[in-house]
Chains A and B, each alone.
Chain A
């Protein structure tokens, strides 16, 4: 216990009912030791640590000790602090294994680049006294886009005609945000469904988590493009369409029998990309975009620009349906 932490909490949070007071950390190198009731001091600002963030996958929760949920004492704002953690781990994409690196400075650079751009999470970075880059992030109140879409309580046909056009329009805006990064020689690095959030109140779509870096050379934006395509396929299908989910949805055998190898993802072999075969009212203009990510394609999108041109064409058609 430190009287310094207690004094800070009493000063800035006089109504706090906290009975435990930790230490003040100016060096975050040993982030495992920083926990509830500790205070992280960056420059002249103080952040009360409330808990470690959790990663929820496959029904399990793993604490992310380098990501702290906290409160900025001077303003009272809840914030997330991402501490420097130089992790290197294999990432699996379909049959491929790619070495992935967590890069605090990449995320810090992008935060600076997108400052004020609400298509992205917002925040800033500071160095602690040991030179560790700490990213101080605003919390986005909302839900993952895929969860929002999944929970729309209508059948696919109603969803596609009544909800999808507006969703596609907003998603195009999200793709333009990624193009903005690429235009500045930056990659998002981890475009997947749980990294695009819908903010409560505004309904804005916002990208989160930019700290993944890879060694990608001849096609540096290929992974981002693949991620954008995968989300679009999910949005068009209102689900992750696989043979298993098709069976769960009670899809007719004539449709199931019509699917062939070329209708599945070029990278994730069990994911159905040819959504038109499942839902015949999907227009060609949209299905053609999706099929660029199918194993039968001979033409790839080289840039987000190319993808956007086709998506805008299909938005026009869908809005006129």
Chain B
């Protein structure tokens, strides 16, 4: 079996670590072109802060924390036997980030749709997402990244890990 490129959506949660482990256990014996651990930056809402300075500090703290978790996720894959050369951790910054100035960025409207856009642009054939297992009411009020991905994905395989 040959898997080409796998994109693992990662938000630092327990479920996203589970998704990473699941991928590691599946692909460790397969020839593979690449595994990308993708974090789509979710900036805290500016309106929750008194001023932009406090908000920027929180953004930086969140990014530092996420970078540590992404490094942990990468280590997990390598320890499970995936060749280090093919594992990449990609921090996809928000278009509104105070620290990243890039045209290719997360819109912040929907993490799910951002993940799908990156999947398409990077020609990944498999997309992996963790699943929290929210109730229907929670999905109604707060939305669900995995549901959005499953409902909107086209031309790729989606693994939903719970």
Contact = CB atoms under 8 A, between A and B. Distances in A.
B143 A217 contact: yes
Given A95-B137, A267-B137, A86 B142 contact: no
A226 B112 contact: no
A216 B140 contact: no
Contacts of B137: 94-96, 266-267, 295
Contacts of B142: 216-219, 222
Contact of A213 (B47, B110, B139, B145): B47
Contacts of A219: 141-143
B133 interface: no
Contacts of A103: 47-48
Nearest to A292: B140
B8 interface: no
B52 to A, nearest CB: 10
With most chain A CB atoms within 10 A of its CB, the pick from B138, B143, B144 is B143
Interface in A202-227: 213-220, 222-223, 226
Interface string B128-150: 00000000111111111100100
Contacts of A214: 45
Contacts of B139: 300
Interface string A243-270: 0000000000000000000000011000
B48 A96 contact: no
Interface string B48-92: 101000000000000000000000000000000000000000000
Interface centre among B50, B110, B111, B139 (most CB of A within 10 A): B50
A217 B48 contact: no
B14 to A, nearest CB: 18
A38 B128 CA distance: 61
B31 interface: no
B145 A267 contact: no
A71 interface: no
A295 B112 CA distance: 24
Nearest to A267: B137
A236 B45 CA distance: 35
A222 B147 CA distance: 15
A93 interface: yes
A106 interface: yes
A87 to B, nearest CB: 11
Contacts of B44: 215
A49 B124 CA distance: 63
Given A217-B111, A218-B148, A220-B109, A266 B47 contact: no
B42 interface: yes
Contacts of B144: 218
B141 A267 contact: yes
A217 B141 CA distance: 11
A217 B50 CA distance: 20
Given A218-B111, A218-B112, A266 B140 contact: yes
Contacts of A106: 47
B141 A226 contact: yes
Given A222-B142, A267-B140, A213 B48 contact: yes
Interface string A91-111: 001111000010101100000
Given A106-B47, A213-B48, A220-B109, A96 B138 contact: yes
Interface string A295-316: 1000010000000000000000
Contacts of A223: 141
Contacts of B143: 216-219, 222
A295 B45 contact: no
B48 A266 contact: no
12 contacts: A96-B141, A105-B46, A213-B45, A213-B48, A217-B143, A219-B143, A222-B140, A222-B141, A226-B141, A267-B137, A295-B136, A295-B137
Interface of B: 42, 44-48, 50, 109-112, 136-145, 148
Given A215-B44, A219-B143, 10 more contacts: A93-B141, A101-B48, A103-B48, A217-B111, A217-B142, A218-B110, A220-B109, A222-B141, A222-B142, A295-B136
* Among all A-B residue pairs, the 7 with the closest Cβ atoms: A219-B143, A218-B143, A213-B47, A103-B47, A106-B47, A101-B48, A222-B141
